[in-house]
Amino acid sequence: MLDGLRILDLTFYLPGPYATLLLADLGAEVVKIENPAGGDPLRGLGPGGDDPAGSVFFRAVNRGKKSVTLDLKAPEGREVFLGLAAGADAIVEQFRPGVAARLGVDYGSVRPRNPRVTYVSLTGYGQTGPLSSTAGHDLNYMAESGLLSLFIEGGRLPLPPIQIADLNGGNLAAVALLAGMLSARLTGQGSWVDVSMTDGLLSLMGLTASNYLSGGLPPERGNLFLAGGEPPYNVYLAADGRFLAVGALEPRFWTNLCRVLSEHDPDRRPVKDIAASREEAGRVFATATSDEWLARLDGLDVCVAPVRTVAEALSGELVRSRGMVIESGGVRQIGPALAFSGPAAGTDPGAGPGSDPGSDPGSGPGSGPYPAPARPAVAPPAPRLGEHSRPILLSLGLSEAEFEDLVARGITTCA
């Protein structure tokens, strides 16, 4: 999909690498620019951190990329970077505001070499504002945005189990990169994009914040419409200690569900009474196991799903059938979330239905003029530190002797 696009990636840990993973999975050439003294800190963080290939975490978000090491504090390293920037479609960096300028690799330094470049700056609090230079991580951005407060319940504040600010910031940075590169194709001019992870969290809270800004109550977990405040959108505990998620927002779904609850209610309460109260619905759910309820509701339009553990989900039929677990470099991990059909995805529109192994010759996807959407091919494993330094730097016109001199002086390394 994105073959032929080159993105220079100056980011580390999770937010920026997640953004460029999305584009690498779609075929873009992503070149990680790493510090020769250890590279991306995520290489050594978590399980497998002592492996030369990097930790499990590092490999999960860096497959399909190339690694070039450069000491950007050295004038020669900076000049090599600017040489790479001259031929890049996009650059993404994750330094605190002002750091890229001090290093001489900011948008102002790059633009004279490449007026068409898209330059994305991904930070916690943005390029401007009172916190722009403040250090922080995912948890801090959630705290400052107000999102973290919505997890408070009963005097406790459990930490969110995934890095919402980082991952959402990565998604936004990927959109910024794509939008900037498309704009450059249309206008011939590049752009500098300011992506704030805290701004991104506020965007995620658009419905909640808009309700408050329009005169509603200050948002708290107990008064949020979709956080336990309404019986049709809630979780219920079954007799076996397993939870069932009910997302029956539309009245017909909730009515369908409450009819079944009423039919199996030992107290024989009418549908309208059960539908009016979370406590009443919860009382009935507690009279049978989760499997019993799922069997009773099978085939009905009720929007009920079992609350699976992550392990159960990863080994379940849905994940298997969708091909979401892949293997890259001997490591099992989550694969690309998007599937494509058509010429840009490498499928043949003239092949007709059923030409793709995953297509259905009947109705639905795969039955029209295109094969069913398919996932991109599994990208190569994450790169070793400096694995591509030699070929990429030599492609700039450096001689072998000049490259070896940079290696000898610690400005670059090669795996």
Residue-wise pLDDT tens digits, 145-178: 999 999 999 899 999 999 999 999 999 999 999 9
CB atoms within 10 A of CB 16: 26
pTM for this one? 0.91
When mean pLDDT is compared across 24-28, 160-164, 342-346, 369-373, the lowest value belongs to: 342-346
Q: Check pLDDT > 90 for residue 371.
A: no
Q: How far apart are CA 184 and CA 118, in angstroms?
A: 7
Task: Tally Cβ neighbours within 10 Å of residue 162.
Answer: 8
Inform me whether the pLDDT recorded for 209 exceeds 90.
yes
Hey, what are 114's tokens? 């490449």
Closest CA to 254 of 237, 279, 278, 238: 278
Domains and CATH numbers, the chain: 6-203+379-408 (3.40.50.10540)
Which pLDDT belongs to residue 366?
Answer: 52
pLDDT 10s digits, 353-367: 333 444 444 445 555
Distance CA 165, CA 40 (A): 19
Q: Is 166 a catalytic residue?
A: yes
Mean pLDDT, residues 292-298 taken together? 98
Residue 341 has pLDDT above 90, yes or no: no
- β-strands 6-10, 29-34: how paired? parallel
Enter the tokens of residue 89.
């479609």
The position carrying tokens 């001199």 is 405
Instruction: State the Cα–Cα distance between residues 152 and 145, nearest whole angstrom.
Output: 14
> Which residue among 89, 106, 166, 356 is the active-site one?
166
3-state helix, strand, coil in the chain (%, to 5): 40, 15, 50
Annotated catalytic residue within 51, 137, 194, 264? 137
Distance separating alpha carbons of residues 242 and 237, to the nearest angstrom: 6
Q: How far apart are alpha carbons 398 and 83 in whole angstroms?
A: 11
pLDDT (0 to 100) of residue 362: 44
Tell me the mean pLDDT in the region 234-252.
Answer: 97
Distance CA 274, CA 282 (A): 9
Say if CB 249 and CB 233 are below 8 A apart.
Answer: yes
Residue reference for tokens 């039919």: 263
Joined together, the tokens standing for residue 107 give 């948008």
The partner residues of 331 in beta bridges, in order of sequence, read 328
Contact 141, 165 (CB under 8 A): yes
DSSP H or E run through 60: helix 56-61
**Do residues 335 and 325 touch, judged by C-beta distance below 8 A?**
yes
3-state secondary structure of 48: coil
CB burial of residue 125 (10 Å; 0-12, 13-18, 19+)? buried
Does position 349 have pLDDT exceeding 60, yes or no? no
pLDDT category at 347 given cuts 50, 70, 90 is low
Q: pLDDT value at position 226? A: 83
Task: Round the average pLDDT of the chain to a whole number and report it.
Answer: 93
Please report the pLDDT score of residue 355 as a whole number: 38
What is the model's pLDDT at position 246?
98
The residue type of 284 is V
Please give the share of the chain, as a percent, with pLDDT higher than 70: 93
According to DSSP, the residues that pair with 280 across neighbouring strands are: none
